[in-house]
Each structure stands twice: as structure tokens, then as C-alpha cells.
Amino acid sequence: MNHGNGSDWEALRRAMVEEQIRKRGIRSPRVLEALARVPRHLFVPEDLIEHAYEDRALGIGERQTISQPYMVAAMTDYLELQGAERVLEIGAGSGYQAAVLAELAREVVTIEKNGSLAESARARLAALGYHNIRVEIGDGTLGWPESAPFDAILVAAAAPSIPPPLVAQLAEGGRLVIPVGQNDQQMLMRIRKLGNEISEEKLFPCQFVPLRGAYGWPDLRE
């Protein structure tokens, strides 16, 4: 493969969108276009670049992963973004999911607990020209109160239960998409805030790295 040729990557990306995402039932043109635009190969470690458009999660260092393309697309789709939203992501990792969200919403705040991942995500997103994303370092299970409320919240790591601060920081009509459950398998959930009512939907089983922090799993290294 010729890494210098941008059209090779674009062809791989189009195939990814068609085979892994559209054929599996995600039909929103806006979501498909966002996935076709974001250069995923620039978000993975250089030694894995050849695998960037494969149908799987990849290691990004610090024992963390960039999610499988289909998972990024499905979670994004469930947020129902129209373009004017303020979005919160927990678990910036490589910054890839944040870039996809930034293609579809007005503003994205993404929180990353790991300082070195946060720094590289910040540098990468700035180099790619994403001016509507802010990468913050902290415990995302607490949300980001000073920027709340959010129209949509996406949690990219597995929580033992739904962190109350995230529900509290949802705007009226807001959606929260989050994997909830034990280490080996979780259920992807969507929470919706409508007036005083909170609705909960089970979407599908999934597997994520653990969410650590005050409303996450304890960090065994601490």
C-alpha cells in the first residue's frame, strides 16, 4: 500500500462505510458521510496504520482502544444529531469518536482521564483543524458541570451503572448513550430526558474497556 496516496485511504474508508456500516443497517446519510470524512488512519498508532479501516477495535496505548468503526457509527446514530447540538463525550482516547461527533454537531467537549492520551488527542484534532472540539483532562463520570447542559452525551467506556451527574447534565430532550454492565459484556443503553421523566432503552450487547472514576470502576493502580 502506498501511504503517500490519499485516495488509497479514501477508497478503504468508503469500503468500510459500505460494508461495515451501511450494510449492517445504519442508513442515516449524515452519519455515513461523517464516517466517510474522518481520516481514521490518522487516529491509530503508526504501526497499526494498515489496520485502520478493519472491522475491529485497535490498541492506542495506555491499555486503551479506539472502538470498532461500526460501534462508533451506531453510538453516533443513536444520539440523533441534527447539527446544532452541544455534545459531551467521556473517554476521548484517540479523539476519533470526538471528530465524528464534531462533523455532526455544533460543539463537542470530550473528557479523558489519561493525561498523555488527552494531550495527543488534543494535538491531533488541532492539526486536523477541528476547532469545535475541546479536550479536557478529568474524571468524566462527573460530567463537565460548567459546560452543562448537553443535548447529547456519549460514554466510550463501560460503566457499572449510569452515573447520576451525566443524567443531571442532560438538556431537556437530551440523549445519553452508554455501555452498562460487567467486565466481559455490557448492554448499550440510551437514556432520554423528557420533562421529569427519564426513559431507558436497551440497544444491544457490546464490549468496552472499563470506565474508571467516582461513578465508574475503581482504578486498581491507584
Place of cell 486536523: 128
Look at residue 116 and give its three-state secondary structure.
helix
The C-alpha cell of 171 is what? 438538556
Of residues 9, 20, 40, 94, which one binds ligand SAH by CB under 6 A?
94
CA nearest to 103, candidates 138, 73, 64:
73
Q: Which residues are 179's β-sheet partners?
A: 188
- Cα torsion 35, 36, 37, 42 to 10°: value is 80
Asked if 122 contacts 56 with a C-beta cutoff of 8 angstroms, the reply is: no
Look at residue 122 and give its three-state secondary structure.
helix
The H or E element spanning position 71 is helix 69-78
Of residues 64, 76, 169, 186, which one binds ligand SAH by CB under 6 A?
64
Which span sits near ligand SAH by CB under 6 A: 8-16, 19-27, 77-85, 113-121?
113-121
67, 94, 147, 199: the active-site residue: 67
- State in angstroms the smallest separation of the CB of 36 from ligand SAH: 17
Of residues 17, 21, 69, 97, which one binds ligand SAH by CB under 6 A?
97
The C-alpha cell of 63 is what? 491499555
By CB under 6 A, the residues from 133 to 192 that bind ligand SAH are: 139-141, 156-157
Q: Is 67 a catalytic residue?
A: yes
Which span sits near ligand SAH by CB under 6 A: 46-54, 76-84, 108-116, 126-134?
108-116
* 113 near ligand SAH, judged by CB under 6 A: yes
Footprint of ligand SAH (CB under 6 A): 64-67, 90-91, 93-94, 96-97, 111-114, 117, 139-141, 156-157, 209, 211-213, 216
Q: Which residues are catalytic?
A: 67
